[in-house]
Structure 1
Amino acid sequence: MMIYKILRGPEWAQLRAAGESAGAPVDLADGYVHFSTAEQAAETAAKHFAGAEGLMLVAVAVDRLGEALKWEVSRGGALFPHLYREMRLSDVAWAQPLPLVDGVHQFPAGLE
């Protein structure tokens, strides 16, 4: 199973340069890296990244994260994946731009 992290351009650049990241400011404030499932990702983009351009969608296989990944109740009572360690570039299965078209982020077809 894949989970997804939406990163702003500078956050993606920092992860690529340093090889790891504690995440966005909200991740630093909360003490874990926020992820979304395929079903949650579009709502996350709309709620937290409305109108933002230059985003990257990063996919991570849950089996790469071990016990540092916790599923916790969040928005609307749904379980969300939270990573209690830094995200590593080696965790990333793939990454691709998340284009904004007519104000809506366009996710790739077939997210699992």
Structure 2
Amino acid sequence: MLIYKIFRAPEWAALQEAGETAGAPVDLADGFIHFSTAEQVAETAAKHFAGEDGLVLLAVDAETLGEALRWEPSRGGALFPHLYRRLRLAEVLWAKPLPLVDGIHRFPEDLQ
């Protein structure tokens, strides 16, 4: 199963440069890296990245993250994937731009 992380361009660039990351400022504050499923990611973008352009959507295979990935209740009691360790660049399957078109983020059609 693929899970998704939204990064701002500088956060993505930092991951590429360092080879790993503890996440965005919200992740550092919460002590884990926030991910979303394909069903959750559009609402995540709308809630936490409204109006922001220059975002990047990363896909990661949840099974490769091992026991450090926990599914925990969040918005409305839905289970969200949270990673309790640094994310390694090698674990990112792909990264695609998440353009803002008429105020709405446009996701790739092939989310699964």
TM-score band w.r.t. shorter chain? over 0.9
- How many residues are paired up? 112
Q: Which amino acid is 2:101 matched to?
A: V
Give the match for residue 70 of structure 1. Answer: 70
CA distance in 1, matches of 2:12, 2:27: 14
Structural mapping, 1:20-99, within 5 Å: 20-99=20-99
Give the match for residue 3 of structure 1. Answer: 3
TM-score of the two chains, using structure 1 as the length reference = 0.99
CA distance in 2, matches of 1:53, 1:110: 21
Deviation at 1:110, TM superposition (A): 2.5
CA distance in 1, matches of 2:75, 2:90: 28
Q: Which runs of 4+ in 1 moved over 4 A?
A: none
CA distance in 2, matches of 1:8, 1:55: 5
CA distance in 1, matches of 2:3, 2:90: 15
Deviations 1:33-64 (A, max 9, x none): 00000000000000000000100000000111
Deviation at 1:20, TM superposition (A): 0.3
CA distance in 2, matches of 1:87, 1:44: 19
CA distance in 1, matches of 2:39, 2:85: 23
Deviation at 1:17, TM superposition (A): 0.1
TM-score of the two chains, using structure 2 as the length reference = 0.99
Q: Which amino acid is 1:13 matched to?
A: A
